[in-house]
Homo-oligomer: A and B are copies of this chain.
Amino acid sequence: MSTPTITPSPLDRTAVQARVEAALDEFLGDKAESAAAAGLPADVVDAVRSFLFAGGKRIRPLFCVLGWYAGGGGEPTDAVLRTAAAVELFHAATLIHDDIIDDSDTRRGQPTVHRAVADRTRAARDHGAATRFGAHAALLIGDFGLVWSQELLHTAGLSAAQMAAAAPILDVMRTEVNYGQYLDLTTTGQPTHDLDRALEIIRYKTAAYTVQRPLQLGAALTGAGPEVAQALSDYGQPLGEAFQLQDDLLGVFGDPAQTGKSNIDDLREGKHTVLLALALRHATPDQRAQLDTLIGNSRLTEHEAARCRQILAATARPKVEQMIRDRWLQVQRTLAHAPFPPTAIAGLRSMADAVIARTS
């Protein structure tokens, strides 16, 4: 149970990513071996592995490790890295289910799990049956991811005290992201100018889940107290909101070749994003009528999508960009007074810049 001993500096994101990936690879290797020994199909492990290694920025593991540094931890142990890897595996499971719900065809530039399974089975089934089979297999593959992330966590080698500190944060995190997904589902297709609800979705679905909780998890593993947890929250919440606001912009204005995902799906589904809420709020009556007709139309053409982008760019994009900048400034103010070691501050500052400036 050893992972390669690459030594990361707090800012060496590549090294952290490599150690997380090694932990995932080792865990899935064990799962593949036991499946083979029991005569069970290899496709479950293969699907989870392909999904995990098709890409992904490992942003939650990186924040987990940064939380560890912020709490005063030194060189992160293998147990910390495996805990971070467990969060990444949980995330993969969440995305596999999310792709079913959004009926997305691609993720990380590859076919989504449900789509890949459906495509493989089209020779043997009619179109509708293959599509259903793909969704149902992916549902189960996501369930495997959820239970395996739990197994990876409690075989990570954490002490009983670390487990006890980590568990409540993970419980809150998992409930929050599920509520975020649920709010997302129930509002999709019925976007309104309700900015508060759009921000609430962001907070549950991303700000807490992607940034704040992984940071607090890492800090909890050092035994850090509430002052550190609070400062990480003051850093993580605005940064997480900025991350999702940026994601919403990329989901409409991004280049699929760079982001690895469609820039038309959000419009076709009618995602209740801050971008759209602001557009509906500030549109002229004519623009608003056009948005009402076009957004949420599952057969939206590229030409109609371009028209949507024009209206969104004119009415809301600069406002969203301003919101991102405001949050970035809030992050800077937090870091100026945060009770973290200098290396942690440097790492957190560099992650914040990367999150804000990202194009994929």
Contacts and interface: CB of A to CB of B under 8 A. Distances in A.
Contacts of A181: 140, 143
Nearest to A179: B40
Nearest to A159: B160
A340 interface: no
Chain A interface extent, by class: 35 or more
A35 B94 CA distance: 21
Interface in A17-63: 31, 35, 39-41, 44
Given A101-B139, A137-B186, A154-B167, A144 B175 contact: yes
Contacts of A40: 179, 183
Interface in A119-151: 129, 133, 136-137, 139-140, 143-144, 146-148, 150-151
B171 A44 contact: no
Interface in A171-228: 171, 174-175, 178-179, 181-183, 185-186, 189, 200
A139 B100 contact: yes
A178 B145 CA distance: 10
Nearest to A147: B174
Nearest to A145: B178
A136 B101 contact: yes
A272 interface: no
Nearest to A121: B186
Nearest to A175: B147
B140 A185 contact: yes
A150 B171 contact: yes
Nearest to A34: B175
Contacts of A271: none
A181 B41 CA distance: 12
A97 B146 contact: no
A100 to B, nearest CB: 7
B182 A137 contact: yes
B97 A139 contact: yes
Given A139-B101, A179-B44, A133 B185 contact: yes
B97 A186 contact: no
A150 B166 CA distance: 13
Given A101-B136, A179-B40, A146 B143 contact: yes
21 contacts: A31-B175, A39-B200, A41-B183, A41-B186, A44-B178, A44-B182, A94-B143, A97-B139, A97-B140, A100-B139, A133-B185, A139-B139, A140-B181, A143-B181, A146-B147, A147-B171, A147-B175, A147-B178, A151-B171, A151-B174, A154-B171
Interface of A: 31, 35, 39-41, 44, 94, 97, 100-101, 129, 133, 136-137, 139-140, 143-144, 146-148, 150-151, 154-155, 160, 163, 167, 171, 174-175, 178-179, 181-183, 185-186, 189, 200
Listed from nearest, the 3 A-B pairs whose CB atoms lie closest are A147-B174, A151-B171, A101-B136
Given A35-B179, A147-B178, 14 more contacts: A31-B175, A39-B200, A137-B182, A137-B186, A140-B178, A140-B181, A140-B185, A143-B181, A144-B175, A144-B178, A144-B182, A150-B171, A154-B167, A163-B163
